[in-house]
Structure 1
């Protein structure tokens, strides 16, 4: 397992993006470190999707700076992000269900000399899947026949085709069952173990606590806290997401954590 460093491979400073009168992102600061998972959480409308699109080159920020491998960069298009080594797996996965695993992995990047080199693409497909310890029975089956977790595996494997340094996963466990979620979380740990910087957009606090090293909270398009996962409770994260510490979820959890009174305490009077 390559050790993680404390120096960020990707840094955002003062990133701001507006759509007309609506400020989607305002002065966002984030650091992504190689060999670590940064979970970005927030309520609907917090700016998570806009942040993903800025990093993937879909949107250009209005102001702020992005530093990648110690050099200031501009990501003006998805091709820029791809060339730099920033790969994004969007929530819809963008897979062609009628094509098999190999065809999906190499769609638009086929290996060919005079004609398609099926053997080379199949060998590379198995290399990518083994790198993730993926559970795919065959690379010749249509994606339509795979489970939700296996489809996510194919999408993540495709993102590794160009040997990226940062992988962005947009809600990777959304709509998955328990077993499939565990499978995808294992994949995320594999990415970290291979020394990649991982940004995981998520609503699921259990997933965040399971695989993330740090949590960045967005609220109304602004930073509302960066936390070490080992030092923060789900209730504290929810409080940062909602902007209030005395929210109903936190109150209920606090009551459940309080020890039950002893019989002596129940019978005592002030």
Structure 2
């Protein structure tokens, strides 16, 4: 991918855009099963990249490598062009990568603010926090409310329990948690699964808002209408590797499905990762 750089007078130059997150030649085997077979991946700044593929294509293993949940047997990861190594999800989080899994990983009995700061709670200053380990709930509630308002998620109070929320609102809480701590990349695994039409629309709007704020999003989804509505590019994963990268403006939905199933061959440009 290139971008135009304005120069003096009428001259202009182009330079390649350095991916925020990329992978080259990833391999992951589980015994005799090769889940990732030399896979490549590129996420550009401020884009929504949809990752699609049939069951067993290896896309879940790929995403787990990017999130630090799986260590590849070989291959390279880079952020902003620099090599990185993720041995745990904590390593990925330290680099600003947050993941919203399909099960959301929220605790229904806790309130919204406690879920947003789950595992990263703010403690009170001084003796109360360092010795008695008391939490600064007012600070967490204020910050949570600010983040909810920033993403225009309509929840009356951050003090209410998550179990009182709708499915779409719970997804919103999980997204807010990721956006609060994800400085560089948000990965979303089937975020509209098991949601109704209205709630799914709310989640799609959240994804667009994250992109509009300059935060790139990796969207794993089987919902092709949502993919075509929100994605800037589509990474097609097949047989453990990247089969193609296409733009929704250049391919129809049926054509992308054909690429995913192997019924259609990608162009050389698509096979190489698009542009």
Decide: shared fold, TM above 0.5: yes
What is the CA-CA distance between 1:217 and the residue it aligns to? 0.6
Structure 1 unaligned blocks of 5 or more? 247-270
In the alignment, structure 1 residue 98 sits paired with structure 2 residue 109: yes
In the alignment, structure 1 residue 70 sits paired with structure 2 residue 89: no
User: How do 1:34-53 and structure 2 match up within 5 A?
Assistant: 34-53=45-64
User: How do 1:1-270 and structure 2 match up within 5 A?
Assistant: 6-113=17-124, 114=128, 115-245=134-264
What is the CA-CA distance between 1:141 and the residue it aligns to? 1.2
Other-structure match for 1:266? none
In 2 relative to 1, CA 87–163 (structure 1 residues): closer, same or farther, beyond 3 Å?
closer
Q: Secondary structure at the match of 2:87?
A: coil
CA–CA distance in 2 between the matches of 1:202 and 1:163? 20
Q: Secondary structure at the match of 1:120?
A: helix
CA–CA distance in 1 between the matches of 2:55 and 2:205? 26
Residues 18 and 80, structure 2, Cα contact 8 Å, conserved in 1: no
CA–CA distance in 1 between the matches of 2:250 and 2:149? 33
Runs of 4+ in 1 over 6 A off after TM superposition: none
What is the CA-CA distance between 1:163 and the residue it aligns to? 4.1
Residues 97 and 182, structure 2, Cα contact 8 Å, conserved in 1: no
Q: Secondary structure at the match of 1:231?
A: coil
Give the number of equivalent residue pairs. Answer: 243
Larger Rg: 1
Residues 18 and 81, structure 2, Cα contact 8 Å, conserved in 1: no
Other-structure match for 1:252? none
* Aligned-pair Cα RMSD in Å: 1.5
CA–CA distance in 2 between the matches of 1:10 and 1:163? 13
Q: Secondary structure at the match of 1:110?
A: coil
State which drifts further: 112-121 or 210-219. Answer: 112-121
Structure 2 unaligned blocks of 5 or more? 4-15, 129-133, 266-275
Q: Could you state the TM-score of these two structures normalised by the residue count of structure 1?
A: 0.87
